[in-house]
Chain A
Amino acid sequence: MLASYLPDTDLEVLLDPDASAWRAGASETLPLTGTPLGMQPTAAIRASWIDRRIGAVDEVRVAALHNGQGLAFRLEWEDASENNDLDDNTSFPDAAAIALPANEDSPIIVMGKPGAAVNAWHWRADAPSQAREISAEGLGTTAPVPGSGIRAHGVWKDGRWRVVIGRELESAGGPMAAQLRPGTQTGFGVAIWEGSNQERAGIKAFSGDWQILSIEATGGAGGGRK
């Protein structure tokens, strides 16, 4: 997938999932699958999900744009129910995340390993205009990335979520965060949690192994790909 370069477009503008820039750009549909039961980190989770479907959302439409300083992903998926509250102990919000490798060895399936973190940009429907940037060096080890400038905006309408998540290409988060540069390629992944199915933590639909994202060069012909 290509993250097209769109000079002079403020990241703030791109945070609107209906911005005209998104309509013009290319997008791609990624099939999603539920995380395997055997990968759930605790026996209690495995016992309670053994007969339940994991990963209620089948596919997500993804697009990405950057302006030389910041990169934004736009996610759109079908969801008949908007789950955005914690009105009961049994209510879980819809959520989405973009995963990026902090390092070329970072394994996505197990959310990183020591010394090779997976960086995630995480959005949740109970705070639809906020995001959290986290990094993990293995399942269950996620911690917030300090100093993150991550932002997001999500809108649910007519049975669809449209969510934009973005931040600066260069993160203040250091080696635990993905440091991105125009004219290079990186891996990325998408995860969607369906609140009405009580999905949270490792119970989610995800896009499998790393997908390729090419971040378009900013400097004409000279900005070649890695």
Chain B
Amino acid sequence: MTAGDPILERWQERVRAAHAARTPLAIRGGGTKAFYGEPVAGEPFDTREYAGIVDYEPTELVVTVRAGTLLADVERALASEGQMLAFEPPHFAPGATVGGTVAAGLSGPRRPYAGAVRDHMLGVRIVDGRGEALAFGGRVMKNVAGFDVTRLMTGALGTLGIVAEASIKCLPVPRVEATRAFEVSADEGIRRVNEWGGKPLPLSASCFAGGRLLVRLSGAAAAVESAIAKLGGEAVAEGAAFWASVRDHAHPFFASARDGAPVWRLSVRSTAPYADLGGETLIEWGGALRWLVAPRADAAKLRAWAWANGGHATLFSAQERAASALHPLPGPLAGLHARLRAEFDPRGILNPGRMGAVA
């Protein structure tokens, strides 16, 4: 770890003191994902002072960024070189930081085709619960030295360490993107995206809502054109704005959620049949992600349905919590989680309770 950075040294001191005094710390970046996970009570620990792109070399396909950097700033820097973060991370609101993106581990519409946040993570620097500054992974594409702590930190909601810096793989922006729409039933939509997913087509996103299936095609102009010829459908103008609205939950489907209605995130086998779960459903990720806005959803029933379909159900956002946010873990996994947490944060001072019973 680069010794001597004054901000990081201050972070280390602060965590050491919190460790000594058993003071819980509530880590935050831009606060755009504060609704996600369980609420945390603790002294606010704001990462935004540690900001800036440390290194970006387009030919290496890697950007190294401090946690407090605005996601938008990173995306702009990459775009100026014709590159992007292929996992299409949600912002949800202005102010999203890279640290929060990594800690939340949420990916956007391109995820099933390009991979998730964790798939693009090459290295992290963290401050763990003892106040130690540690580096894992690196800035190269392939690295199997040591356990994969980089990916372990991704999506851990800060409970294993404060993400201070991340090295992330970047990819070229597709030359051409086009969005096509199809009028279909939910079941038909699920079937089609799965069938197309098994063909060599340049799919890069899908979204079914209100009887319409939209798919995005990305790649070389000729490839996108020949895919359009095969798939048909009608052209959708303003495709970029549409996918950004799905990514950030600005799509009209989420309108009642903005007034506090609970949003459930059901991550399941892509071929799981459509089910009436007591509310409107929006289906992304080639069928593998189902959003449900359901004021009176039965948590136990949803969790049972998601589990039976190979996945899990998260109470993603809600004004009032009628259930735990995260899907409960089966016994042996819960034990492993608790022991891992104890190794990285023995006194449980980093975002205690953010992952619910898990950490």
B and A form one assembly: no
Q: Which residues of B contact A (CB under 8 A)?
A: none
Interface residues of chain A, those whose CB is within 8 Å of chain B, are: none
